[in-house]
Amino acid sequence: MQLTIQAAGENVKAISYLLAKNPNNLYERSNKGHMVRFFYSKCTDTELEATIFVTPDPLELIQNKSNSYDITHYINDREFAVSSIFTSFIRSALGTALNGQPKEEYAEWVNHRFPFRFEFGPVASSLTDQQLKELFEPIGYEVTITRPEIDYSIHIKDRSSVRTISLAGMQTLQNGLRHLFVLIPVIDNYKHYFIDEKEIEKLERYGEGWLETHPLRDFIYRQALRFKEIYSLVEAANTPLEKKEPAKAVRLNDLRYEKIIGLLETRKPSSVVDFGSGEGKLSAKLGFLNGVQEILAVEPSQSATLKAVERFTKLQDDDLFTMPTTMWGSLFYFDERLQGKDAMVLCEVIEHIDEPRLPKALDTILHDYQPASLIISTPNREYNEVYAMEDHFRHADHRFEWTRTEFENWCNERNHQNLYELEFHGIGEEQSFYGHPTQLCMFKRKEEQS
């Protein structure tokens, strides 16, 4: 099973820097017994062709599994077709490009669109050619589907049932790979791995910016999540399967907001500062917090603030809603208007700041602004192992991601004047060895210091 990436035109050699693979070397790695290879057949300033392919070990796929004696493991084609198995094998090899994190000097090419052709196969799928085209054409590809000719000694059929899919279009490399990593498993007739909450987060991460507007979005979600219990079909048992709909998925971001709101409810603040408020999603929820009278949505981005204002305006007629006040601001500029508030929140903010600059920012908050409560949430790097992206950050703009120990140590160091009590919490599904996907610390100002 293989994927070939082709591009022609000016500056296409830059793609090799995004892939983080030397054109002069063969990349060869063993992934749990399966051999992953990557090589360039062309790499010039105007032509590039690179192929990644996997030689699987079908026995390794079933080793130590409870159903290892099921004969269907030996007669099905999934181990040898481009499928969910294939994407899991190559994720590590293509992780730099998939996450848009090349070396700093090549970062300018991450958002550059090239005339790509992605060709992958063999594809074994129950979807028709037309259905396959309807998956890829709305996101800007010209789709070509071919079937190999076959010549049996006895007449069974003239053409193979497997297909090769070729996609041509102007795309960034990162978006092209994200399209493939979401839609190749959708094409697959079944997933080889257990589907749990992290599969939702993969869809949201790789589908950001295109999946939410895809005309087959619901179909894609059903195909991707069809075996997960919490997204089970909700119609009556006798409803035809094709008419059943999955239950609404709970997003990690929503769980963060729910946790933050719950913690604030225990503190009963009348004034809250949402630092790095972005498009105002959390601030809008804070507007319904019982007893809150003032919400300051602080954000350095003007475009994000305009979207936040639009969001707040839609809610302003609700009698239970406290209208947030938007403010331009930064953690690195002192603003006396932020002093002495009941609560301050930094939800997924600190990881976007260069690590050496953080101590001064937190000292300003804890010792100058002196909120009664401070809540900080940030990714737990250990959980990246669950996402099979342990060598990469979850977002291209993240400057760091901490383990649970690193985060706890840092919070305790920042509380060097011992003015606050610290509480640590996890958010999202907990894994035995890796904890929760998001970690949170609440600083509670001690009574004698209030």
In a domain, 200, yes or no: no
How do beta strands 271-275 and 325-327 pair? unpaired
pLDDT-based confidence at residue 38 (cuts at 50, 70, 90): very high
Residues 308, 427, single domain; the answer is yes
Would you state the structure tokens that stand for residue 90, as one six-digit string?
Answer: 């190559």
Average pLDDT of 326-339? 92
74 pLDDT more than 60: no
pLDDT-based confidence at residue 138 (cuts at 50, 70, 90): very high
Percent of the chain with pLDDT over 70: 82
pLDDT-based confidence at residue 239 (cuts at 50, 70, 90): very low
How do beta strands 27-31 and 114-123 pair? unpaired
In this prediction, residue 91 carries a pLDDT of 86
Residues 343, 433, single domain; the answer is yes
What's the domain count of the chain? 2
Residues 31, 162, single domain; the answer is yes
Which residues lie across from 165 on neighbouring strands? 120, 145
Give the 3-state secondary structure percentages of the chain, helix then strand then coil, rounded to 5: 35, 25, 40
Residues 435, 316, single domain; the answer is yes
Parent domain of 406 = 252-449
Residues 32, 173, single domain; the answer is yes
Of 165, 193, 221, the domain-final residue: 193
Would you state the structure tokens that stand for residue 96, as one six-digit string?
Answer: 């730099």
Residue at token pair 């993969």? 202
Residues 185, 263, single domain; the answer is no
7 pLDDT more than 80: yes
In this prediction, residue 232 carries a pLDDT of 41
In a domain, 396, yes or no: yes
Give the predicted TM-score (pTM) of the model. 0.53
Secondary structure class of 112 (helix, strand, coil): coil
Residues 286, 414, single domain; the answer is yes
Residues 280, 158, single domain; the answer is no
Average pLDDT of 206-221? 91
pLDDT-based confidence at residue 88 (cuts at 50, 70, 90): confident
Residue at token pair 């990469």? 392
Separation of alpha carbons 35 and 26, rounded Å: 12
Residue 330 buriedness (CB in 10 A; 0-12 / 13-18 / 19+): middle
Query: Ranked by mean pLDDT, which of 81-95, 246-260, 334-348, 381-395 comes out on top?
Result: 334-348
Residues 128, 266, single domain; the answer is no
Task: Report the CATH number at residue 156.
Answer: 3.30.1610.20
In this predicted model, which residue has the larger pLDDT, 36 or 224? 36
Task: Look over the chain and give the mean of its residue pLDDT values, rounded to a whole number.
Answer: 84
In a domain, 202, yes or no: no
In this prediction, residue 86 carries a pLDDT of 83
Residues 146, 266, single domain; the answer is no
Give all strands (DSSP E) within 276-379, no chain letters: 294-298, 325-327, 343-347, 373-379
In a domain, 376, yes or no: yes
In a domain, 407, yes or no: yes
Which residues lie across from 159 on neighbouring strands? 149
207 pLDDT more than 60: yes
Percent of the chain with pLDDT over 90: 61
Of 170, 193, 216, the domain-final residue: 193
Would you state the structure tokens that stand for residue 125, as one six-digit string?
Answer: 């799928």
User: Closest by alpha carbon to 123, among 138, 143, 94?
Assistant: 143
pLDDT-based confidence at residue 242 (cuts at 50, 70, 90): very low
Of 193, 218, 243, the domain-final residue: 193
For residue 135, the surrounding DSSP H or E stretch is: helix 129-136
Segment 249-278, tens digit of pLDDT: 568 889 999 999 999 999 999 999 999 999
In a domain, 214, yes or no: no
Residues in the chain: 450
In a domain, 72, yes or no: yes
Task: Report the CATH number at residue 436.
Answer: 3.40.50.150
Residues 79, 188, single domain; the answer is yes
Segment 143-189, tens digit of pLDDT: 999 987 766 555 545 555 689 999 999 999 999 999 999 999 888 76
In this prediction, residue 60 carries a pLDDT of 53
- Judge whether 114 and 9 are in contact, CB under 8 Å: yes
Average pLDDT of 133-140? 96
**Alpha helices (H) along 137-290:** 173-187, 197-206, 217-224, 252-267, 281-286
In a domain, 204, yes or no: no
Residues 10, 139, single domain; the answer is yes
